[in-house]
A = this chain, B = another copy of it.
Amino acid sequence: MSGHWRFLRQAVDLAAGNVACGGGPFAAVIVRDGQVIATGCNRVAASLDPTAHAEILAIREACRQLGDFQLRGCTLYSSCEPCPMCLGAVYWARLAEVYFACTRSDAAEAGFDDGFIYAELARPAADRRIAMRHLPLTAAVRPFRAWAEWADRTAY
């Protein structure tokens, strides 16, 4: 079994085990240079945190391990195709690549909203089920101006 299949299988096994621990059926493993540096299991209901998806927790843990807010050169193995929230996190963390076992359709069949959220993000803001409204405050640009003028800023 090649490395990719082995690490992905580890994520699937963690996901199956997480259900019996009060978690959702999702897990993720982050690997660098052939070594697992972090794992994460879905804890949404268990920790009353809608952002506690497996991939988010694994990314946060990997960053703690490496002392960095970026994970260049790392690979994410997820038991299921990442939802838009987690995919966004993958981009912000600048992971190198992602492998997944189940798809968003499998997740939808199991009762999870991943496919619905992908469809919503593809719609114009005004047509979404959750209303998104742009209010053009005159003060809106102040934070970005302060940022541009802040000499000690860390770009990311």
**Alpha-carbon distance A119/B83, docked complex (angstroms):** 16
8 A Cβ contacts from A82-140 to B: 83-103, 106-107, 109-111, 113, 116-118, 120-122, 130-137, 139-140
CB proximity of A1 to chain B, nearest CB, Å: 10
Interfacial chain B residues near A99, Cβ < 8 Å = 133-135
**Alpha-carbon distance A7/B82, docked complex (angstroms):** 32
CB proximity of A60 to chain B, nearest CB, Å: 6
Interfacial chain B residues near A116, Cβ < 8 Å = 91
Give which listed residue, B83, B109, B111, B154, contacts A88 with CB less than 8 A.
B83
Interfacial chain B residues near A107, Cβ < 8 Å = 144
Interfacial chain B residues near A79, Cβ < 8 Å = 140, 143
Instruction: Kindly report which residue of chain B lies nearest to residue A88, judged by CB atoms.
Output: B85
Interfacial chain B residues near A80, Cβ < 8 Å = 143
Contact B45 A156 (CB under 8 A): yes
Which residues on A are within 8 Å of B, measured CB to CB? 4-5, 8-9, 12-13, 15-16, 18-20, 22, 24-27, 44-45, 48-51, 53, 56, 59-60, 63-64, 67-71, 79-81, 83-103, 106-107, 109-111, 113, 116-118, 120-122, 130-137, 139-144, 146-148, 150, 152-156
Q: A12-B142, A85-B89, A109-B144 are known contacts; what are 12 more A-B pairs with Cβ within 8 Å?
A: A5-B135, A12-B143, A19-B146, A22-B152, A51-B56, A51-B89, A53-B92, A85-B92, A91-B116, A98-B131, A110-B147, A110-B148
Query: Can you give 12 contacting A-B residue pairs, CB < 8 Å?
Result: A8-B135, A12-B139, A20-B150, A48-B63, A49-B69, A50-B92, A50-B156, A85-B88, A88-B88, A91-B117, A91-B120, A122-B122
